A and B are shown apart, each in its own frame.
Chain A
């Protein structure tokens, strides 16, 4: 008692008024409630599945025959394959759209983002209009418009537009000539692999020399030149060309031969690309603008050409600002591809979340798998982008 009177400031308050204890207790309570709720929902779901419907959670159905056809597939698939394979078909279709979408959206996005910063009035306004229009239209509306008002309105297959090649353009899609592998194809792939190794070596050598002489060549250009050169030489050295051209032709209701990019695929891919490019353009613009004016002025004063200024000074610095938001655009594009069902493209969600779900009725199993796969895609994309981000980070001395 006496002590308290003497040193009032050193005495602790009772624990129910001690801020540190309270904050710890409140955290524990919150975690308890959250975990409790999750556990409640889970047990509730499992027990009602088992008791009301008599169907416990079971992934065994994946081994059963699917029984339905899928419009397009990157691997061989027929109705007598299993649900698991149908899953895989959907997964690859999603992957195909996502990967191509990311590549094209990035290219288009950078072009438009740079256009947006142009001092040329017309170029600048076109880019602004593009961005403002697309950013303010819901993606689903855009996709359906794109599929129904643009691609459906192409001529029917019988009146297809035939471009030289021949390329058939119809509301079925686009049929283009395509290479068919011949006997020498396996050898050729090995040659290409060798070319790749050679290209990497060339790049490293050139970089070392660049460091020594202080004049750095455009490495990516040399990389490509080497690879292509090996590709061309290999093609002609082989006794028989590794690929022969297969031209599409009109047979009955459809084109045969070549390769057909379906209308649904084209509509989905182009819809996703032009939509995401608008967002990427803004990200790129913000990144470039974040590089201070002095940098550009200094670079110009050193006598660099405008292209060199962009490539060597502005872009490397802008990238640091661009990469994190760009990553989320990539993730968005991948996830947005699940709108494919609206225009009839058989992506993962359309195949699994619709057809498989309907044929089996196993909502929990199907959706847990679908969510797991999207999560995996997203986490992998994030991982690579984070690694890249770390590499280009400003190294402070």
Chain B
């Protein structure tokens, strides 16, 4: 039997076509755009929900920061601590009744969304600003803001820089993958100031370049500046300028496509606001167990089945408060007067104290 080149070529072509057909069958068939809406709910029922996956795994995985003291920081013993980390713990407490059942997946600014989108983690809690394009283009859903921030600029004290105008001609270090890269361009263009941006990938590279005098200033969220100032060689030689370049509402985010999971993250976050509003703390929570106030009874799971609506046991919020605390406790533990940061609450106070923290009611 002799294979002519023709037969050979046809064989090759056939096998390619076959390969493609087999692959196409194996892959989920691409849904035509028109029927997408109709197909989506059905598909979701079949696929495992994020909550199921988390419960099966036995722990929740949060994308976090490892380099931002006060928000997310990895210490010498290999433990994570910080404001954002406490919110990850709060999710674990609500789901498992055990705040230790969590894992932080550290990521740089540019990696964080990919890590969440790829399903490697369940929720993103890494000083992440809520913006419209992240909410839409990047396929994120943002839970309530836990920290209202704004972008600031750090300069050397002896540089004499006081206002934005003083920065004319300066070079400014900034980290890639952040909102701050864009805000800087916007604000400087608006003010008509010329500057040289120097863009690095990690916060450490940015601060090294700044400390070595490569840049006259560096910019990021004010909370980030305060936090990173503590790890500079000589923190007292630097100061944060009295200008705010932007609004930076920071909070947890989940990926599109699982509404129940989104609700869960949202309401666990709200529960810390509500607990502070009602004066319930991790220490005094037991004294509220016989409260007659319906609002408190609902929050603590003594009345109604609210936790069940997000797929959890009835004491889900009580566990958050007992094991992690209310908003004020979380804030003070990580950023409050007893810490090196000593950040005033400012906008991050309850609405009753002139701040922006406001939770819709549980009912």
Residues of A within 8 A of B (CB): 12, 15, 18, 20-21, 24-25, 27-29, 31-40, 43-44, 46-48, 50-55, 67-72, 78-80, 148, 152-153, 156-157, 171-172, 251-254, 256, 262-264, 341-342, 344, 346, 350, 354-355, 357-363
Cβ distance A356 to chain B, nearest Cβ, rounded Å:
10
Contact partners of A346 in chain B: CB under 8 A: 199
Cβ distance A261 to chain B, nearest Cβ, rounded Å:
13
User: How many chain B residues have a CB neighbour from A under 8 Å?
Assistant: 66
Among the listed A21, A43, A171, A361, which residue makes an inter-chain contact with B23, where contact means beta carbons less than 8 Å apart?
A43
- Name A157's closest neighbour in chain B (CB-CB): B213
Is B246 interfacial (CB-CB < 8 Å)? no
Is B236 interfacial (CB-CB < 8 Å)? no
Residues of B within 8 A of A (CB): 1, 3, 8, 11-12, 14-16, 18-20, 22-24, 26-31, 36, 40, 43, 109-110, 113-114, 117, 133-134, 137-139, 167-171, 173, 176-178, 181-182, 184-186, 188-189, 195-201, 205, 208-209, 212-214, 216, 255-257
| A25–B3 alpha-carbon span in the complex (Å) | 10
Q: Establish whether residues B24 and A172, one from each chain, have CB atoms under 8 Å apart when the complex forms.
A: no
Q: Establish whether residues A36 and B1, one from each chain, have CB atoms under 8 Å apart when the complex forms.
A: no
Which of A44, A48, A69 neighbours the largest number of chain B CB atoms within 10 Å of its CB? A69
| A285–B24 alpha-carbon span in the complex (Å) | 53
Q: Establish whether residues B16 and A361, one from each chain, have CB atoms under 8 Å apart when the complex forms.
A: no
Among the listed A33, A46, A171, which residue makes an inter-chain contact with B30, where contact means beta carbons less than 8 Å apart?
A46
Q: Establish whether residues B201 and A354, one from each chain, have CB atoms under 8 Å apart when the complex forms.
A: yes
Contact partners of B167 in chain A: CB under 8 A: 253
Among the listed A15, A37, A43, A78, which residue makes an inter-chain contact with B1, where contact means beta carbons less than 8 Å apart?
A15
| A91–B200 alpha-carbon span in the complex (Å) | 18
| A262–B215 alpha-carbon span in the complex (Å) | 12
Among the listed A15, A32, A47, A148, which residue makes an inter-chain contact with B208, where contact means beta carbons less than 8 Å apart?
A148
Q: Establish whether residues A264 and B198, one from each chain, have CB atoms under 8 Å apart when the complex forms.
A: yes
Contact partners of A52 in chain B: CB under 8 A: 139, 255-257
Q: Establish whether residues A360 and B170, one from each chain, have CB atoms under 8 Å apart when the complex forms.
A: no
| A5–B250 alpha-carbon span in the complex (Å) | 88
Cβ distance B186 to chain A, nearest Cβ, rounded Å:
7
Cβ distance A32 to chain B, nearest Cβ, rounded Å:
3
Among the listed A29, A32, A251, A357, which residue makes an inter-chain contact with B110, where contact means beta carbons less than 8 Å apart?
A357
| A270–B183 alpha-carbon span in the complex (Å) | 33
- Name B138's closest neighbour in chain A (CB-CB): A361
Q: Establish whether residues A254 and B16, one from each chain, have CB atoms under 8 Å apart when the complex forms.
A: no
Query: Lowest 10 A-B CB distances belong to which pairs?
Result: A36-B19, A32-B15, A40-B23, A152-B212, A39-B23, A358-B177, A53-B139, A79-B185, A43-B27, A35-B19
Contacts A24-B8, A171-B214, A254-B170 known; A350 to B199 CB distance under 8 Å? Answer: yes
Among the listed A27, A53, A148, A253, which residue makes an inter-chain contact with B212, where contact means beta carbons less than 8 Å apart?
A148
Cβ distance B270 to chain A, nearest Cβ, rounded Å:
26
Contact partners of B134 in chain A: CB under 8 A: 361
Q: Establish whether residues A171 and B212, one from each chain, have CB atoms under 8 Å apart when the complex forms.
A: yes
Contact partners of B3 in chain A: CB under 8 A: 20-21, 24
Q: Establish whether residues B16 and A32, one from each chain, have CB atoms under 8 Å apart when the complex forms.
A: yes
Q: Establish whether residues B27 and A47, one from each chain, have CB atoms under 8 Å apart when the complex forms.
A: yes
| A152–B18 alpha-carbon span in the complex (Å) | 59
| A181–B11 alpha-carbon span in the complex (Å) | 64
Contacts A40-B23, A355-B177, A360-B137 known; A71 to B15 CB distance under 8 Å? Answer: no
